[in-house]
Structure 1
Amino acid sequence: MLNPEILYQKDIDDVAYTVLDVETTGLSASYGRIIEFAGYRIERGEIVAEVKSFFNPGMRLDPFIIELTGIRDEDLEDAPFFEDNATEIMDLIEGSVIVGHNIQFDIKFLEAEFYRAGFESFRPLTFCTLRAAQRLFPQLKSKKLDSVRRHLQIPEGSAHRAYADALATAEIFLKVKEKLQKEYQLSRLQELLSFQYVPPREISRKFPMLLEGVGLEIPAIPDLPGNYWFLDGNDNIIYIGKSKSLKKRLSQHLTDNAAGKSKLILGTAVKLCYETTSTEVMALVKEALLIKKHRPQHNIMLKNYGNKFFIRVSLSHPFPRLEIVNRFDLDGNDYFGLFISRSKSEEILEIAEKSFQLRTCDDKEFSKGRVCFLATIGRCLAPCEITSENQKQIAKAYKAELKRFYDFMAGKNSDLVAQLIAKMSDYSANLKFELAAEVKRTVDLVLKQVYRSSLLREPVNRASVLISVSGEGGACDYFLLIEGKVYIRGLSTGGYDNFENALDDYFDGNKRLDLMPTDEDYERMRIILNWSVSNRDRVKIYYLPDFMSKEELYRKMSSDRFTGGEYREITGEIDISKLNLNL
């Protein structure tokens, strides 16, 4: 479901959370069943999706459960079984941190139900508001949901009903998260998740709320994005980090009793250096570069290049198919991506297979000339049945269908959504509710995925673009993507900044010798595109084929005010031994 290594380092506000609650037939997940589920997906502090449902447990309820929840056997008689809605629930929580009050109880039941429904693995990241309350509100005699709700002045709902408890938990979580950010200065997801496991008696020591007596003039650290690194007595770099705000991040490290990993680093560090960047994305790129170069002992992630996935369109075949690959080649085929996980590429492939009449069979199966099941239900144009009479007709229709897929990958999804909704309405009118539900799921996938993945309007192997990112003080960072190769203005590779050279070669029509993308190109592509998708208001994309020369491109960028003066970084060095930290 999640890639923890990526999520742990994300800003707390950049992560999706699903707050949920379940009502069950008893206390044992091995023998009991879920009878009610309610879940609310929260992104940027807002509820963006929800799932609420009764479930038929296949057994009669104990009188105690009826009394506790108010749910009766007759309420569940016509309800679906959990496995009927398992996929919908899995879609709701996909890519999010699961939040609940005493969340492990809910997780055990969900794990058992998902296993019965055919899902092999369910190991989500979780945050427990009960554990948080035990650490944040020690003055409360009871840390039960209703007690914490009253303490935080949250309106009362229906007790022991999943939908009301989940809503109350969502409001509690948002207040807890805000408290941890403001008063305890937590910023990354890893810090948020770690907080719930710190022994309550050690909270004040590991997470000091006030930064007093540090011996450091905090305002001297710039409130700007950038990178920082700790050095030991032998001038070896032992840890490298980045932040949207160096001032905030370094103040978390440099407290009288630094928390968690910071304390371990400060135990051997004697010096801290920092350098600002004009944008957060440049800090991300530099962090990955520096960690691979120095391989600090306290950095775990980014020492190696991560996974990468593309969707390949096999244009070498008269009737191309779509398939997932982990790299691309300049082989005449088209490649869409870059996806950071196989599951994300599989979601796009699932949308394509359910929305476009393109073949899914491999070339060997295609050559047999036998019509597949998908063709019989209208999900494939059956080019394997081509004859001299229908050749032109099928070829034309297949080409049009392929173009619709390309338009979808470029973000032009309104026609596709309209078509799917019409199909869903038709199925519903004909009482084909299972088929209608399947189409609805496809619509939800389309609406969820396109915004996140459609930054470029063409396959990445054909994309020649300059991405301008507005930064601090009117400065900008510039990233050049040419057929998979990545060039960054102001960032040297092998001691040489080849950004302008690559741009000149493009407009002069010169072929470069370094045509094939490297693992470093893939990683930079992933960082730049993923960050740009989430920060579109600060990004402007210029397609090089739209311009006749570099001068014309720069004039357009200047008129769009997406150019700035040369950025001058601010560097600093702190002697940790002079801070008198009580480690």
Structure 2
Amino acid sequence: MYAILDIEATGGKVGEESIIEIAIYKYDGENIVDQFISLVNPQSRIDPFVQKLTKITEKMVKTAPKFHEIAKRIVDITDGCTLVGHNVTFDYRMLIQEFNRLGYQYEKDWIDTFEYAETLIPGMPSYSLGKLCTSLGIIVTNRHRASGDALATVALFKMLLDKDNNKIITKKSGLKYPKKANSKYDKLLAGLPNKPGLFYLYNEEKEIIYIGKSINIAQTVGKIFTSKTLRNNNIKRYTKSIKVELTGSNLLASVKEINEINRIKPTFNPGVYKRSLYQHNIYFRENKHTLSKFEVGKNRKSTPFLSFQTKQEADKALENIITDYHLCQQVNQGIKSDESCFGYTVGTCNGICIGKESIQDYNKRIKEIAVKTKFPANNFLIVSRGRKGIEKSFICIENNEFIGYGYYEFHHQIKSMDLIKKIITKAEETKDIKSIIRNYLFKAKEKQIIKIK
């Protein structure tokens, strides 16, 4: 019997968080036989980032039961069960932490669907729950809420059980959480923030051996320290201290990570600074007299429309563009047919494939998409959230080249390039950074772009 769960927490320093929502589905291998879903009053503040991500506000949990009021129900529904979750060590740690506060020792076997997905479904562009489910066609409703993520994990777990021909899941569950955690790793992970930024891992000679970025630093570093891959075992073995740098935005973290790796060349970021990470591209092929189209490719002389680290990511992105912008599957796949494409039958193609839309109108629409990643001016900023309060982060492009990044609090600080250069941290442009910027421009809101004279 399995207890498939997901937990949302307040955020903050590791060891100080509290549960704000929990969902548990009791699963017998074929059907859900019981369930428990509840908001939880943490009796503490909820980090603004968590509120924005989960849409769970402090007002919503004010009248919710406190953890001690639902603790017995959690014990009952998980009795005799193995816990199952995606990156379940976080959920399990939160339960242990809450029960410890009540003076109760909670101990279970566990199975991490993240680990088994990597083994049983290799080659996925990402193993985060949302992206993995999208790649596998698993519908996720109410993302970043406990019930939605737990139900998605149920569907994923069913698929893993189906694929598990060698029965590696049923042969081996996770190990029981140690009663006394390794104090070395406990100290390293203590206090890491649940916020976007960079983390630097140091060896005993105070040398940086690995640089990473994450939208949730504590969670990502925790994954490295619980992973069983050879590389992560070596990283864990040599790491003696961790430093973090909050960035406020994932965009700035992504740009700064590339820049820092190229500058420092850490031991466990092998080859990253020697070659481009974003080698799989979507190109726009414009035709004046026939149909224009997007296509996936590598190493062409023309500037890519969008760039990705794997072909699977590029293929999936093109598939989404075709659907979202009502383009034709047949045109982009080079299929010639007298019949309409499937997209037309479900309303995601305007009918260019059967003459319902003119070539001129279709080409005009697709070109309007293609220019979304072109730089909107010679000099401009892309503005994102800052680290706290009214602060904003930005990356700066001057004369069509990335020149650096920075933070500001008052709008007058970014009204001219002269003022910007007083607060900017200079950085070198690379092919990968330009790819990150193009990818971000494609989805950026108009208010995030500030043109500078």
TM-score normalized by structure 1?
0.38
Report the structure number with the largest CA radius of gyration: 1
